[in-house]
Structure 1
Amino acid sequence: MASYLGITFNHAKDENFKGFLDNLGIPPQVADAWLQSKPSPKLEKDGDSYIATTTDQNGEKKVLTFKSGVEFDEEILPGVTAKTTFTVEPEVAIQVQTFPDGRSITYRREYSGKDLVVVLTVSSWDGSAKRYYKAE
């Protein structure tokens, strides 16, 4: 079993996150809210399924239940849905969201001891961003 399962990680800092959000072309007020966000993610295993819970600084939770390698519909924002696939490996969990316009976003979660680094890329951008987290 992966050592990071069941551990809550707290947001520590970002690298080029604004560049990532600017590339997405989302409304400025949504981008500003995401720039200010301090999410706390946790990944758990339940049988052959996984539960990804992200809690924001206001205590609001987003919960996704999925099976590794199996595509599902994920509502990103009201009225915005992506086809999402997670692939869970011993020290890495990769999430790919594919949108109706053909663009995709990849979140590569790299776990190392008490650290989590999420590398964010977009198919329409040659850059990347990172969000850093520490275990509680």
Structure 2
Amino acid sequence: MSFLGKTYTFVKQENMDGFLKSVGLPDDKIEPVLKFTPEQKIIQEGDGYKYITQGRDGPREVTFKSGVEFDDLIGPEKFPAKTTYVVDGNKVTQTIKSAMGVGTFTREFVGDELIITMVTDKWDGVAKRYYKSA
């Protein structure tokens, strides 16, 4: 898992507005999310992991164990959710279950790239965010 400990910087995104609308995010909240381009990093800590996003408002850190569901707060509004991360080789899949539906974020690490693919049960489209490590 050569991606552990590397920092990935935002490059571009596809279909994010459609994804955000599909989960019911109000129009006035969509633009700030589209402009949110945090750095991403996953580190291993013992038998668990820490997922760190570093954005304009400082870092957000989520500590998890692969395959173990936990209570989470998501988005700028801090919606309550149940979240599970599964680490499998070069992929980290996050499943979020909330009042907004079920969303899956698949983080695939390929060489120096990170591609995050996002789908939800409320939409038949696919959104992607692309990152690159230094």
TM-score normalised to the size of structure 2? 0.94
Structure 1 unaligned residues grouped into runs of 5+: none
Q: Distance in 2 between matches of 1:18 and 1:105?
A: 15
Aligned to 1:21: 20
3-state secondary structure, aligned to 1:4: coil
User: Which structure dedicates a bigger proportion of its chain to strand?
Assistant: 2
Per the TM alignment, residue 59 of structure 1 is displaced from its structure 2 partner at its CA by: 5.2
Aligned to 1:117: 115
Say if 2:50 is the partner of 1:55.
no
User: Cα deviations across residues 46-98 of structure 1 (Å, max 9, x unaligned)?
Assistant: 00010000011x25111000000000011114451110000001100000000
Aligned to 2:74: 76
Q: Distance in 1 between matches of 2:28 and 2:45?
A: 36
Q: CA RMSD in A?
A: 1.2
* Paired AA for residue 31 in structure 1: I
Percent identical residues: 37
Structure 2 unaligned residues grouped into runs of 5+: none
* Equivalent residue pairs, number: 133
Aligned to 1:95: 94
3-state secondary structure, aligned to 2:124: coil
3-state secondary structure, aligned to 1:118: strand
3-state secondary structure, aligned to 1:108: strand
| Between 27-36 and 91-100, the greater mean CA deviation after superposition | 27-36
TM-score normalised to the size of structure 1? 0.93
3-state secondary structure, aligned to 1:104: strand
* Paired AA for residue 67 in structure 1: K
Aligned to 1:34: 33
